[in-house]
Structure 1
Amino acid sequence: MDETEVLIAGAGPTGLVLALWLVRQGVGVRIVDRSAGPGTSSRAMAVQARTLELYRQLDLVDEIVGGGLRNPAINLWVKGERRTRLSFRDAGRELTPYPFVLIYPQDRHERVLVHRLEEAGVTVERNTELLGFEQDAAGVTARLRGPAGESVCRAAWLAGCDGAHSIVRHRLGTGFEGGTYQHTFYVADVEVSGPAANGEIHLSLEEGDFAALFSYDQQGNARLIGAVRDAEVREGHTLAFDDVRQRAIASLGLRIEKVNWFSTYRVHHRVTGHYRSGRALLLGDAAHVHSPAGGQGMNTGIGDAINVAWKLAHVLRGRAPETLIDTYEAERKAFAQRLVETTDRAFSFVVAEGGFADFVRTHIAPLFASAAYGIEPVRAFMFRVLSQMGIHYPDSRLSAGSAGHVRGGDRFPWTGYGGGPDNHAPLAAIAWQVHVYGEVAPALHAWCAGRGIALYRYDWCDACQAAGLVRDAVYLVRPDTYVALVDRAGERDTLEAYFTTRGIHPA
């Protein structure tokens, strides 16, 4: 019987990121996937700013950004005219070092993650299927079938990163409540030319039709998506790209030079009942699926992986009680439910049929979007939502305190705009740390040294105030770069009580 600390079923971005973060923390992993190799089509395209921030922890961000296309804006087109351009750079430049949506095809993305994992000494076991598992209080016994036949693996934890048809979720019986949209949608990787082939995102809204174009380089290679109307879906007929060329595509002035890949699919919106059952966990599409509106799916799965990775490492090393794992569901499920609701509303609006729906979509929506985006607080809010920087855990039992505009559970704000310090640089360490902007009391210095927690002090500056921080306050930051505790007084006893009451040993 093979043994490991964490058995990961599924080697998509979620499973690969989980493996990388665990290995970096010294946790033994085994990762299996039933496919013969990484995907060869682009599938998920968008890498959001929050994911790029987190990728700094493994020195991944420069390679990922360098391999993708920084997409600076979304353009809304109606009946062949561009009605508005929404700039990410204007909205996010004060919030993050990455004020853009990175378009980076999933197949390339996966190859980078696989290579990094191999450099760390872990190889994805391909053509290896999880058949089933049993669990007890100490771990999971899993049955696998690979090229050499069936085998058994004993693991302390099982992570189900095995997609929307997850065998882990099915065996746990945690359900998958939600529904399926009535429309059939198409997705194609194409080579295009024309005015919209300029490296930006373009959404074309027409009466009874829509199309979205995501360029992933400057040579005309792009992803095109849209809806297949019921009249085109006929019994016994296999859809091809010629069946779904509609006027929304023509309205962008696109010339389709070549179709490299084409597929149709139905869109689901579902969330599992529980993210954890005993020693088994669900992550990514195994836990939640939703419409592709906003490019949130892959990024949400990656966020799941990073959220739970440090908690698993703490528990496996005896630095926290097993109940710490319960905060994974408490934090991530609430976000997934909100995301499903939000993308459901957005997607339903885009595909709604009928005269009134067409009028609102083609006349009212572009005017409203342009006007709203011109208001700075609205622009920043919209960017926070799209970029996933707005994800926060205020109700988590790991979140405490507040000062200024920052409270426990928030993403730790960035102060690097306008000449301020890059306070996110130390977050590359997957570890607890304390930040102070101003003066540090000697007692706090001594407490951090005694606890083995890094203390970072920065001079107070205008950028600190603009980021919502408070002078001389203490910010305890979690290993996943979220704020755990804010204490305006900077008392070491408050910090000590935070860990003592939760049974956590930070170092």
Structure 2
Amino acid sequence: MQDTVLIVGAGPSGLVLALWLTRQGVKVRIVDKSDGPGTSSRAMAVQARTLELYRQLELADDVVAAGHPAPAVNFWIGGRQRARLPMDTVGKQLTPYPFLLLYPQDRHEQRLVKRLKALGVVVERQTECLGFEEHATGIVARLCRPDGREEDCEAAYIAGCDGARSIVRHQIGAGFPGGSYSKFFYVADVQASGEAARGEAHVALDHADFVAWLPYDEHGSGRLIGVAEGHETQDAEHPDSLTFDDVGHEAIASIGLRVEQVRWFSTYHVHHRVTDHYRRGRAFLVGDAAHIHSPAGGQGMNTGIGDAINLAWKLAAVLQRAAPDSLLDSYQAERRAFALKLVETTDRVFGFVTADGSFADFMRTRIAPLVAPLAYGIEAVREYAFRLVSQTMLSYHEGPLAEGRAGEVRGGDRLPWVAGADNYGPLSNIGWQVHVYGQPHQDLADWCHWRNIPLHRFDFGPAQQAAGLEQDAAYLIRPDTYVGCADTDASVDALEAYLLRHLGPAT
């Protein structure tokens, strides 16, 4: 099956890759050695950028309705609320989803599985990839079926979405440099009461006894994520022996949260690693198989989903002979650069909130309480924090597919959302398109018709100008809704030269 993509692993990254490929007409086979979606997952946050991309498959509204949109994140130090990031007001001009959506990964996976099944693809459970061989026109993977029988699976490409212990990464010999933190994290699904249990997210930064409260609703149901302080050494070999009673409760109490019932509790080590190869030949690494890091900011699952969508349109273009194989090299160039920056950022945050010692305590409990309210009182700081956490700041400026600039928008940027203009409506079409905010000239319209690329015209006004867009410029939008090329003059020659470099002649 030389037109098929074999996906190993049915977590969120693998499921999203299967969904986006299937939607674009690519055949997939997705296998997972587990017997069903996870039941005790740790990922909770679905960021605004992920929801924007979910609009392409009409998934966003369903996911938002099933989850809990937290309108704000509160930061506590020394038993006092020191800063509040109001997502609903800071982000309302930046994205259709100005909130932090909290939606447990197990429920998230079940929804993705259901949507994939509706498209005619069923996850093959209890099926393990034992390894694969690559040849000139594809790969042959060895699969072990639920009954123990082994079979060969032929495919054009293989995508390892199989987690931190990825067999695909091991098979291609890719390194996984990084390290592990000495501290244990714990996660607990609980029923709680108190002022903090009313629907907003809360983070306490006291004496390295870090804890985050992520609500499922406005009635005290939610998840606690924190440091199992004081258990780094003695329980290193037996973290499963810890219970909720063993972890520090000072930070929990400091935000006025009272835990009344513990429904589920687990501990785990936190690692920070990024593979040195996202691609080798016909094999690709996606999600946790390529990068793992601290849970600071709720970035991990969303980054894996971003990997999958970035890779999906490129695989589809190559398999459908709409682009050369070299396009696939841009996957590593774009996504590995982001993962490295992400790990560096989450490392700094995680290190700050969990560091031991008198100096670290002094910075957290004396300096941070003074600086945080002042910083969050500045609108630009609040907006920057929202863009960073929501991943709407992510760009591919330094990537090989980014060219040009028009207004404040550069090639490689996420297309800015314009409130009230519905300029994201056409993005449900997973394909190249051109946007003009103003009046497109006839040459551009003729070129788009010849290239079979939709041309979308929008009015230009104060809202578009505030978003950084330029009147009458042309923005060539990639299938994953990032700007490929921005041209002030809306030059047909510039756009055609761009596509020839990256996709080849029109067919």
Q: Structure 2: how far apart are the matches of 1:250 and 1:229?
A: 15
Shift of 1:260: 1.2
How far has the Cα of 1:232 moved from its partner? 7.3
- Residues 4-49 of structure 1: CA deviation (Å, up to 9, x unaligned): 6100000000000000000000000000001010011242000000
Distance 1:430 1:414 in 2: 17
Against the structure 1 CA distance between its residues 353 and 245, is the aligned structure 2 distance closer, same or farther, given a 3 Å change threshold?
closer
Q: Deviations over 1:295-345 (max 9, x none)?
A: 000000000000010000000010100000000000000000000000000
Amino acid at match of 1:409: G
Could you tell me which residue of structure 2 aligns to residue 52 of structure 1? 51
**1:14 aligned partner:** 13
Equivalent residue for 2:335, pick from 332, 335, 338: 332
Q: Does 1:177 align with 2:180?
A: no
Contact 1:188 1:260 in 2 (8 A): yes
Q: Deviations over 1:345-369 (max 9, x none)?
A: 0000000111221121123223322
1:195 aligns with 2:186: no
SS at 1:185's partner residue? strand
Identical aligned residues as a percent: 60
- Whichever residue aligns with residue 244 of structure 2, its letter is F
Change (3 A) 1:331 1:190: same
- Which of 387, 406, 410 in structure 2 is aligned with 1:407? 410
Deviation, 1:239, is 0.6
Aligned to 2:306, what secondary structure does the other structure show?
helix
* Aligned twin of 1:353: 356
Q: 2:163 is aligned with what amino acid? A: G
Q: Is this contact kept in 2: 1:439–1:472, CA < 8 A?
A: yes
Gaps of at least 5 residues in structure 1 are none
Letter in 2 for 1:19: A
How far, CA to CA, are the matches of 1:224 and 1:505 in structure 2?
54
Structure 2 residue 463 is matched with structure 1 residue 460: no
Paired position in structure 2 for 1:80: 79
- Mapping for residues 15-414 of structure 1, pairs under 5 Å: 15-148=14-147, 149-231=149-231, 234=234, 238-414=241-417
Normalising by structure 2, what TM-score?
Answer: 0.97
CA-CA distance at 1:3 after TM superposition: 6.8
How many Å separate the matches in 2 of 1:492 and 1:208? 57
Could you tell me which amino acid in structure 2 is paired with residue 51 of structure 1? Answer: T
Task: Name 1:473's counterpart in structure 2.
Answer: 473
Shift of 1:233: 5.5
What's the CA shift for 1:187? 1.0
Distance 1:232 1:307 in 2: 38
2:441 counterpart letter in structure 1: A
Aligned amino acid, residue 357 of structure 2: G
Q: Structure 1 residues 491 and 4 mapped into 2: Cα distance closer, same or farther (>3 Å)?
A: closer
CA distance in 2, matches of 1:25, 1:505: 21
C-alpha distance in 2, partners of 1:7/1:222? 36
- Which range moves more in the overlay, 152-161 or 74-83? 74-83
Q: Given the two structures, how large is their TM-score scaled by the length of structure 1?
A: 0.97
Q: Given residue 100 of structure 2, which amino acid in structure 1 is its aligned partner?
A: V
The alpha-carbon deviation at position 502 of structure 1 amounts to 2.2
Q: Is residue 138–residue 154 contact of structure 2 (8 Å, CA) maintained in 1?
A: yes
Q: Deviations over 1:91-127 (max 9, x none)?
A: 2111111111100111111111000000000000000
Contact 2:131/2:167, CA 8 A, preserved across alignment: yes
Higher mean C-alpha displacement, 446-455 vs 79-88: 79-88
- Separation in structure 2 between the aligned mates of residue 136 and residue 232 of structure 1, nearest angstrom: 46
Distance in 2 separating the partners of 1:502 and 1:229: 51
